[in-house]
Structure 1
């Protein structure tokens, strides 16, 4: 597994998540966040293990945590001089999200753009171009292994400009995968995100289209029962995009990343 991308710290954390893939798959309370070690049940995983992640990596992810427990989680992290940066959870069922996404895809793409095949080489040129597009949009990418599905069931969808050989510039991308192990009640829930659109192509509805392709893919190709995406409270553009694809805010769940108090946000 390979294809790490970003700063030295980002690449180190990507490698850590991949190196621990077997542990994540087998351990109750753990989940695969791609960018770092993570959990979807802190009590089940246990605070000694979370403390070990924080001490070693300086960061830990928290996925689909019950909203009523977040204040306690924040208090526990504050005792350790960490804060929890959170995102709202938007959740879609197979029936609703597929119907909405199929309607978007039926409208097609603007002239000169095509749906392209996803990357298949973790260290290939197309994978690096996708990661660069994500990073340019302010999104911390996953490793090439995760993006290509070499590290577990996943898909990356791509829109590109039509070239003479069908290999024009990549202008939009999104990713979906199954983060939760068999011990989790969210085992068949897909995570969708890493949506990025080239600045020169924004305002054409490409975000909705590429997101809809990802949503369709996690249900049809990965066998998901639900899909969720994470959006900050102030990102109105992304909120409209995921709602258009049939996802609705799920106020009972929260996702976040624990980072040192006073430090920078890990991703937007």
Structure 2
């Protein structure tokens, strides 16, 4: 929730600029699009951000004497639906700015739409650097994955004293693939060993059985597992790893900061470490 609150407060400071170059200048209402996954695999994350945004709107309902109206569009945790939702906010709802989205893939799907429409858009959690690359209308108020991946590699090498790592990545998720890549690059530099990643296991969003991938990883005997991915699948990966007898530390990224991650993983996720 604090992400959404900080995010809207930052946006509030920019709204007078947005209004001055938009049709909202002649209206008593400023429409801000909320572009988040309210259903689908990323729904829990989207709901967190929307709750924070609504709270910020309650605290600051007006800007420069104009009422803030939030227009919520569900991108349904789907790249195609994300493009459609962004287009609807721009073309039908005529918003002057957009907030979102939880999920870098979803934000990237909306990139060309907000760029071509010249609608300023700010993400609170879309950490993949490609979201804002070559797009002067997309901004973020969070760290990016090169930083996040480096931090987790430093933790694995410096704190855990690990020199062999395994990667478990959600290959259908741009966020997870990018974060795994940045972790790998940093970990190789730290260990000075190009073979320090002893196994890479892939899965898709929605998968529930990871026994084959984890059995292979167990045989490689890594000293740490880096498993960036959505909270649901990540919690299942951790639970199944523990049931297979994998005892090494398991670390991940900022998508793990949801109640659902704890509810699904239960005692198996106790002691895991992630960036946030």
The answer to whether the superposition gives a TM-score over 0.5 is no
Larger Rg: 2
Which structure is higher in RCO with an 8 Å CA cutoff and minimum separation 6? 1
Structure holding more strand per residue = 1
